[in-house]
Amino acid sequence: MPSPFTPSFGASPPLLVGRDEQLDAFQAALEGGVGDPGRAMLLTGPRGAGKTVTLNALEDLARRQGWEVVSETMRPGLAREMAESSLPALLGRVDPGAVTSRLTGVQGSAVGFGAGVTRHVDDRYPARPTLRNLVTTAADLLDRRGAGLLITIDEVHSAAVGDLREIAQVVQHAFREGRALAFVGAGLPSAVNDVLNDEVLTFLRRAERFTLADVDPDDVALALRQPIELAGRSIDDAALTIATVGTRGYPFLVQLVGRHMWDATPGQDRISVDDANKGVEQARRRVGRLVHEPALAGLSRVDRSFLAAMAVDDGPSRMRDIATRLDATQVYVGQYRLRLIAAELIHPAGHGRVDFSLPYLREWLREHAASQALPNT
């Protein structure tokens, strides 16, 4: 039988857990009415933390409240595409007067049969209206229905800052004018920080910001057990414990471990301890390719060397040991410590210590340090 788990970035899992805080805050913002500060929200977190999945859940929540959603991914030209495509299409659905026609002539045959009429069709939204006008019109139409317009943008980054400025300014004006509008953006911490440092995008600094954290073990166990049982199989308690611990609370690993242990012996009714161990090991290897490699791809040589120096330790690393291994001063390595914390690859772990934030990154670096992390290799 097919696996219920969905280890693909952005794919909604069979059971979303650990994101009640964000969903509850957004629900309260929708119920709070126009002007509620929670109607502007930013989601951040490392790759695999569930940003897109949470964004999907917020969109679904809004739709259940009768809201319309414009769901986009950040890219150059987005503002123009919204003005020329997605928003006019939305207005065509929600405005009964979007298309009008008028009688322009009557035709008939000589014997009175075959008579017909011709009409001229007028489109209320031709000729590239402005983004602001379209957003305002849509929000007002939906407000009359007791709902509103939600705009979501995934993978927020500064590469398309011009488009983001235009969209943010439109959203800001709508907020100031009391329109029925909500906005949610999502992106990697470093990318969101770059955007927030832009002088024009000050509006986004006031948005409600959530950093998506690891999921509680009890929630992880539920997210593993329930889909398995609903799909017609069962799992040993010991196997569930192994799988739960193996995910380390990382949302993407919940789906990855679940998928691999499901596939270990697909013909069996019950998932065993051996299946769980195989699932965790295969997921650990795959998360390196899917998460760790992309996370390190944009780092400098010194950034990677810093991480390789940390990987020598079995637990949190002392900054003075890292400086010694890199043959550098603590002041020098301290600058890279801040960079890597901002990228959410590492985090403070007590006075003068740091530890890895991504699960299994230490193990992956140990296996790949010679080709991926050490300088001049």
Mean of the per-residue pLDDT values of the chain: 89
Q: How many C-beta atoms surround the C-beta of residue 277 within 10 A?
A: 16
3-class DSSP assignment, residue 303 = helix
For 68-72, 98-102, 171-175, 319-323, which range has the lowest pLDDT when averaged over its residues?
98-102
Provide CB contacts within 8 A for 57, sequence distance 6+. 12, 16, 19, 22, 23
**Domain end position, chosen among 294, 317, 351:** 294
Which of the 8 DSSP states describes residue 45? -
In the chain, pLDDT over 70 holds for what percent of residues?
89
Q: Which residue has the higher pLDDT, 373 or 263?
A: 263
Whether residue 90 is found in the same domain as residue 171: yes
Number of structural domains found in the chain: 3
pLDDT tens string 74-88:
999 999 999 999 999
Provide CB contacts within 8 A for 185, sequence distance 6+. 41, 42, 43, 152, 153, 154, 156, 192, 204, 207
pLDDT tens string 86-138:
999 999 988 877 654 444 444 444 444 444 545 544 555 554 579 999 999 99
Whether residue 52 is found in the same domain as residue 197: yes
Whether residue 193 is found in the same domain as residue 44: yes
Range 259-284 average pLDDT: 96
User: Within 13 Å and on the Cβ side, how many CA atoms surround 235?
Assistant: 30
In the chain, pLDDT over 90 holds for what percent of residues?
73
**Domain end position, chosen among 294, 324, 358:** 294
For 151-155, 205-209, 239-243, which range has the lowest pLDDT when averaged over its residues?
205-209
pLDDT (0 to 100) of residue 103: 43
Residue ranges with strand state E in the chain:
40-44, 68-73, 99-107, 116-123, 149-154, 181-187, 208-211, 234-235, 270-271, 317-318, 346-348, 353-356
What CATH number does the domain containing 339 carry?
Answer: 1.10.10.10
Instruction: Enumerate the β-bridge partners of residue 154.
Output: 73
Distance CA(376)–CA(326), nearest Å, equals 13
Whether residue 28 is found in the same domain as residue 60: yes
Whether residue 250 is found in the same domain as residue 366: no
Residue 109 lies in a domain: no
- Domain range enclosing 329: 298-373
Range 68-77 average pLDDT: 96
Backbone angles phi, psi at 42, to 5 degrees: -125, 135
Residue 9 lies in a domain: no
Residue 343 lies in a domain: yes
pLDDT (0 to 100) of residue 102: 45
Distance CA(12)–CA(308), nearest Å, equals 33
Looking at residue 263, its amino acid is D
What CATH number does the domain containing 203 carry?
Answer: 3.40.50.300
Distance CA(156)–CA(320), nearest Å, equals 35
Residue 117 lies in a domain: no
Range 344-369 average pLDDT: 92
Distance CA(142)–CA(67), nearest Å, equals 7
**Domain end position, chosen among 146, 176, 211:** 211
With bands split at pLDDT 50, 70 and 90, how would you rate the model's confidence at 248? very high
* Whether residue 258 has pLDDT greater than 80: yes
Q: Which residue has the higher pLDDT, 372 or 25?
A: 25
Whether residue 85 is found in the same domain as residue 141: yes
Residue 13 lies in a domain: no
SS3 percent helix, strand, coil of the chain, rounded to 5, is: 55, 15, 30
Nearest to 338 by CA among 354, 317, 316: 354
What CATH number does the domain containing 268 carry?
Answer: 1.10.8.60
Residue 7 lies in a domain: no
Whether residue 175 is found in the same domain as residue 236: no
Range 14-35 average pLDDT: 94
Whether residue 240 is found in the same domain as residue 277: yes
Whether residue 249 is found in the same domain as residue 304: no
N-to-C CA span, the chain = 45
Looking at residue 376, its amino acid is N
Whether residue 170 is found in the same domain as residue 284: no
Range 195-199 average pLDDT: 86
Whether residue 33 is found in the same domain as residue 181: yes
Distance of CA 314 to the CA centre of its chain: 31
pLDDT (0 to 100) of residue 318: 97
* pTM strictly above 0.85: no
Which of the 8 DSSP states describes residue 284? H
With bands split at pLDDT 50, 70 and 90, how would you rate the model's confidence at 202? confident
Structure tokens given for 364: 């992956």
Distance CA(346)–CA(206), nearest Å, equals 26
* Whether residue 376 has pLDDT greater than 50: no
With bands split at pLDDT 50, 70 and 90, how would you rate the model's confidence at 18? very high
Distances (CA, A) of 244 to 119, 213, 257, 279: 65, 16, 9, 11
Whether residue 334 is found in the same domain as residue 196: no
Residue 350 lies in a domain: yes
Distance CA(155)–CA(171), nearest Å, equals 18
For 59-63, 91-95, 208-212, which range has the lowest pLDDT when averaged over its residues?
91-95
Residue 47 lies in a domain: yes
